[in-house]
Amino acid sequence: MSFKHLFSRSLGAAPGRLHFAAHSHHLWPDASFDGQVECWQDAATLADRKWDKVMGAVWPEAAAYVADELGAGDPSAFVFSANTHDFIVRLAAACPRRSPARLRVLASDGEFHSARRQFARWAEDGWLDLETVSARPFDSFTDRFLEAARAGDHDLILVSQVLFGSGRLFTGIDTLAGLAREDGPWVVIDGYHAFMALPLPLAGGGRGVGPPSKSTHPNAPAASAFYLGGGYKYAMAGEGLGFMHCPPGFGPRPPITGWYAEFGELTAPPGGIGYRADALRFMGATFDPSALYRFNAIRRMLAAEGITTAAVSAHAEALQRQALDLLAATPLGEAELLNPLDGKPHARFLAFRSQSAAEWQQRLAEQECITDVRGDVLRIGFGLYQDAADVERLATLAAGLR
């Protein structure tokens, strides 16, 4: 089955391109263009009053979609920002610490660059102590990370639900969230490669996408864990749509704060620093709302087409299985596949480890076949805008890498 008609603008903009990097920069569907235009038209028509619509309608619609997708239940527990790095900074500033001079952090050695780089830089300055758990061997990673989380005296614990380098999953979210306390430690799940790739990643089960819902899913992790994600990957909405789920009671007065953190709060004393009680307490100041418009338009499109997250995952998995069959006879078949298909929830990309990974990526790019490389790992991503013919073209090009 083909869904290419939903991506006519992106595919038509570069007809010769073979794009297998949906896990990196997902192509935008046509609906995103409609959302962008709607944002511009509201700005032109409403001018100063556009913020009433943004905060009164656009933002709540997007938050409801995110809550429903994650299985978190409460849209008011979500806050948006330009990127997840912004939230890492806010969390580090707000997190209670046992020693006022030091923040003790536990993470894996497979975290995305925003966390890895920022934690390493703060550690250079001496006020952050960083303990890392090796992601390899992958089969024991969840157990080893949970053991370190239980044994340590950490203030902040951060781990990716899907490791961006290998595509392997951390499967102990419920247990890890159970360690979180308002006075520390705080537990943060990076869900960038899980959001709209795994059904209900914060609750378990599988309802997929649909119109906003007020129903409450099983939400033990949502009661005590922060969760980071964004629209750049599988939400297909592009940059500018970072979000954070904020458990109630955690960080009622974040020290890095902008005026939107008290937007609509009428109970603050005159001249005081008021905060919203919901997730908007972590907000900053004026922002670009266009990504919210794009995301909402895409979600409406998915609902109208009857396309669920589970359906997209099934489409991607079928392409992945086809790719593995065809690539077995190419040089990629000799590489180490870090995340084999096993019938369980799986990343939307295949990760091939080889000393030739960077060379392969470059040679494919020269033929307008877009993949990406992280160190010695070639990542090949799959999405709605690909079909079986694209996989056959990929295999033909890969056969020429000898």
Average the pLDDT over each of 71-80, 81-90, 212-221 and give the range with the smallest value: 212-221
What is the distance between the alpha carbons of residues 197 and 174, in angstroms, rounded to a whole number? 19
In whole numbers, what is the pLDDT of the chain averaged over residues? 93
DSSP element (H, E) containing 357: helix 357-365
Give the chain's domains with CATH numbers.
Answer: 4-29+309-399 (3.90.1150.10), 49-302 (3.40.640.10)
The average pLDDT across 81-101 equals 96
What is the distance between the alpha carbons of residues 138 and 123, in angstroms, rounded to a whole number? 26
What is the distance between the alpha carbons of residues 107 and 55, in angstroms, rounded to a whole number? 34
CA 32 to chain centre: 18
The average pLDDT across 328-343 equals 95
Q: Are 380 and 352 in contact (CB under 8 A)?
A: yes
Residue of 106, 109, 98 lying closest to 138 (CA atoms): 109
pLDDT of residue 211: 40
Which of the four pLDDT bands, split at 50, 70 and 90, describes residue 10? very high
pLDDT of residue 112: 83
pLDDT of residue 242: 97
pLDDT 10s digits, 279-301: 999 999 999 999 999 999 999 99
pLDDT of residue 266: 55
The average pLDDT across 298-311 equals 97
pLDDT 10s digits, 103-114: 999 999 989 878
pLDDT of residue 269: 65
pLDDT of residue 155: 98
b/e burial code for range 196-224 (CB count within 10 A of at least 16 → b): bbbbbbbbbeebbbbebbeeebebebbbb
Give the 3-state secondary structure of 166-186.
CCCECCCHHHHHCCCCCCCCE
Which of the four pLDDT bands, split at 50, 70 and 90, describes residue 161? very high
The answer, yes or no, to whether residue 205 has pLDDT greater than 80, is: no
Between 377 and 265, the higher pLDDT residue: 377
pLDDT of residue 176: 96
What is the distance between the alpha carbons of residues 138 and 179, in angstroms, rounded to a whole number? 22
Q: Tell whether the torsion through CA atoms of 186, 253, 79 and 200 is positive or negative.
A: positive
DSSP element (H, E) containing 379: strand 377-381
pLDDT of residue 212: 41
Average the pLDDT over each of 10-24, 196-210, 261-275 and give the range with the smallest value: 196-210
pLDDT of residue 402: 79
pLDDT 10s digits, 234-272: 999 999 999 999 999 999 999 999 989 988 765 566 678
pLDDT of residue 141: 97
b/e burial code for range 75-101 (CB count within 10 A of at least 16 → b): bbbbbbbbebbbbbebbbebbebeeee
Which of the four pLDDT bands, split at 50, 70 and 90, describes residue 216? very low
Q: Are 155 and 103 in contact (CB under 8 A)?
A: yes
Task: Please give the DSSP secondary-structure letter assigned to residue 385.
Answer: T
